[in-house]
Chain A
Amino acid sequence: MSDPVIEVDDLRMRYGAKDVLTGVDFHVGRGEVVALLGPNGAGKTTTIEILEGFRSRSDGRVRVLGEDPATAPQSWRAGIGIVLQSWRDHGRWSVRALLEHLGEFYAPYSTPERRRPRDTDELLATVGLDGLADRRIAKLSGGERRRLDVAIGIVGRPEVLFLDEPTAGFDPEARRDFHDIVHGLVDLDDTSILLTTHDLAEAEKLADRILILSRGRIVADGSPAQLAREAAGSSEVRWTRGGESFVHADHDATAFVRGLFAQYGEEITDLEVTRSSLEETYMALVHRHEAAEDAVGDLEPTEGAAR
C-alpha cells in the first residue's frame, strides 16, 4: 500500500488492570474505506478515539497523516474530519449558520488542490439537506440531524474521515440514505474513511477492506470477499442426480463441480453453489479467536499451580 494515511503498529491500551487493546496493527491507504468491525467491547471506539487524538494510548506507534495524534499541532486537525453524533448542541442555530461558522476554522488551510471550507450550498446538496439551510437545528428530524453531522465532518474537506458507529439507532431507511452519502464521499476528494461498526452488513456494503477486532486485537484483515475465502472457506454444492439430492462442502467448489460433470455429465441437474456468507465467516473468525484465547487462559492457572 503506497502512501498510508493511517499507520497503527502494536497499539496497546490499558485501563487500570484491564487490557482493552493488546497489540493492534493496521494501515489505511489514501482513498481507502476501511471498516473496523467487532462485537461490543472489542475496543473499536477506543481505537478510533486514539486516532482522533481524543484519547491517549498506553503504548505503540500511531501516525495519522504523518503525525502522532497525541502530540500533533492544531493545524493537523484541519486534515481530519470527525463525524460526531449531535444530540442537542447548537439547537438554536440555523443549519447554514452552524456550517458556515464551523467551516471558517478551515479557511487558513485552504490550498489550490483542496479548497477549504466546502461551499455551504454544495455541502447541503451532498448530504441531502438542500432546502433546510435556514431551519433551526432543534427542529430537524433525527435523520436530518445525522446528515448535518456528516456535513460538519466534511466541511473542512478532510483527507481522513472518522466515523464511530455512524448508524447506531438508525431505522433501515436512514441507514440506506447514510450509505449513499458515504459512497458519494469516497468519489470526492480521495477521502480516506475509517468507520467502526458492529453491523456486518454495513461493513460489507461500505468498506473496501474490513478489519475484525476481537478482544483488543485484529483477527482478520481483508476485502469482504477475501475474508469469506479465508475463513472456514468452504462453499456448499448442492445437486440432484437420478432423483436424489446431494450436498457437498468444499474449499474449491469450481474443481469439484468440474469433476462432477466429468464423471456424470448430463445426469446432474439443479446444481447450486453457495459461498459461505460473510456473516458466517465473521462468526467463525470471532469464535475461533475467542476459543483459542480462552484455551490459553485456562492453561495459565494450571501452570502457576504446578510451579
Chain B
Amino acid sequence: MNPRAHAIKVGVKRGWTEFKLSLRAPDDLSFYLLWAGGLLVFLFLNRHSTVEGTGLSASVVALPGVLAAMIAFGAVVGPSYQLVLEREDGTLLRAKAAPFGLDSYVTGQVVYQFLGVLPMLVLLLVPPVFFLDGLVPRGAVGWLAVLGVVVLGTLAILPVGFIIGSLARKPSHVTTVAILPVMGIAAISGVFFPITAMWAWVQVVAQVFPVYWFGHALRWAFLPDGAGAFEAGGQWNLPGAFAVIVLWGLVGLVLSPRILGRMARRESGSAVEARKAERMQRVG
C-alpha cells in the first residue's frame, strides 16, 4: 500500500477512536443528552397540537427543521471549534511531524465529525417514531431520503467548518464566525417557522444556503405531499435541494485544502508555545 493511502487508513481509525472516546466522555454525553432531551420533551408536549390552517401536527412539522439545524450546527461549529482547539494544544503540530500526518489528521476529523452528528440524530429520530403519528408517510423511500440528507448534507458543509476553523485564531472567535452565522442562517431558513412567513427577499437569501434545503428535503420525507404548498416555491423541489447541497460541497472541497494547507504550514513549536502563553494570559 502506498504510504499516503496508509496514512489515510490510519486517519479513518483515528476518527473512529475519537468517536468512541467522545461517547465515553461525560461532557460530550451530557451535551447530547441535554439537547436531545430538551427537544424531545418539546416534541412530546406538542404532539397533539396542530399547525393552524394545515391540520399537520406541530411536532411533525418542527422535527425536520430541528434536524436540519442540528446537521448544520454539528458539521460547521463542531469541526471549526475542534480545529482551533487542536491547533492551540499542539495536536495538529504532532500530526504535521509524522509522514503524511496532515492527510491523516484531516481524514480523522472528517470521520469523527461525521460520526459525531449521528448520536444526536438517533436520539432525535428514534423516540418520535413511537409517539408521533404519521411520521414519514412515504415509508422506506422517505427514510432513504432522511439518510441521504444526513450523509450528503454533513459531508457537503464539513469543509465550511474546516475553513472557518483555519481562519479563526482562538476559540472565542468561533462564536463570532461560526455559531452566530449558523444560528442566523437557521433562523431565516424555515427551521423555526415556515419560510413563507418571511419577506420575499429573505426567502431568496435563505435559498442560497444549504440549511433551508436540508429542511426542505427532510420535510418532503416527513410530511404529506400537500405540505409542499408551504415551501418557498409553493411546491417540493428535490432537484433544487440536491443541486444547492452538492454545489456547496464542491466549492468547499476546492477551497478547504488550500486554506487548511496554508494554515498548517504556519504551525511550529514556537507558534503553539506563543498561543499557549496567550491563552494562559487570557484564562489567568
Contacts and interface: CB of A to CB of B under 8 A. Distances in A.
B206 interface: no
Contacts of B268: 49, 52, 54-55
Interface in B270-284: 270, 272-273, 276
Contacts of B94: 84, 89-90, 102, 152
A45 B274 CA distance: 13
A89 B267 CA distance: 15
Interface stretch (B10-18, B48-56, B149-157, B197-205): B10-18
A105 B90 contact: no
Interface stretch (A73-81, A187-195, A264-272): A73-81
Contact of B91 (A55, A78, A90, A104): A90
B98 A77 contact: yes
B96 A74 contact: no
Contacts of A101: 10, 13-14, 17
A108 B6 CA distance: 8
A84 B89 CA distance: 11
Contacts of B122: none
B90 A85 contact: yes
B75 to A, nearest CB: 21
Interface residues of A, number: 34
B240 interface: no
B170 to A, nearest CB: 14
A109 to B, nearest CB: 7
Nearest to A164: B269
B18 to A, nearest CB: 8
Interface in B1-37: 1-4, 6-7, 10, 13-14, 17, 21-22, 25
B17 A97 contact: yes
A54 B270 CA distance: 10
A107 interface: yes
A117 to B, nearest CB: 10
A156 interface: yes
Interface in B228-271: 267-270
A72 to B, nearest CB: 10
Nearest to B273: A85
A87 interface: yes
A26 interface: no
What's the interface size class on B, roughly? 20 to 34
Contacts of A55: 268
A105 B6 CA distance: 8
B98 A85 contact: no
A92 interface: yes
A88 interface: yes
A105 B21 contact: no
B209 to A, nearest CB: 33
A9 to B, nearest CB: 22
Nearest to A55: B268
A82 interface: yes
B143 interface: no
A86 B94 CA distance: 9
B97 interface: yes
Given A84-B93, A84-B97, A93-B21, A105 B104 contact: yes
15 contacts: A54-B269, A55-B268, A75-B3, A76-B99, A77-B98, A82-B269, A84-B94, A86-B90, A87-B272, A89-B86, A89-B90, A93-B21, A104-B6, A104-B13, A108-B99
Interface of A: 45-46, 49, 52, 54-55, 74-78, 80, 82, 84-90, 92-93, 97, 101-102, 104-109, 152, 156, 164
Given A74-B100, A88-B89, A156-B98, 8 more contacts: A54-B267, A74-B4, A76-B99, A84-B94, A90-B91, A102-B94, A105-B98, A106-B99
Interface of B: 1-4, 6-7, 10, 13-14, 17, 21-22, 25, 86, 89-91, 93-94, 96-101, 104, 267-270, 272-273, 276
Ranked nearest first, the 4 interchain pairs of A and B with the lowest CB-CB distance are: A54-B268, A105-B98, A89-B91, A77-B99
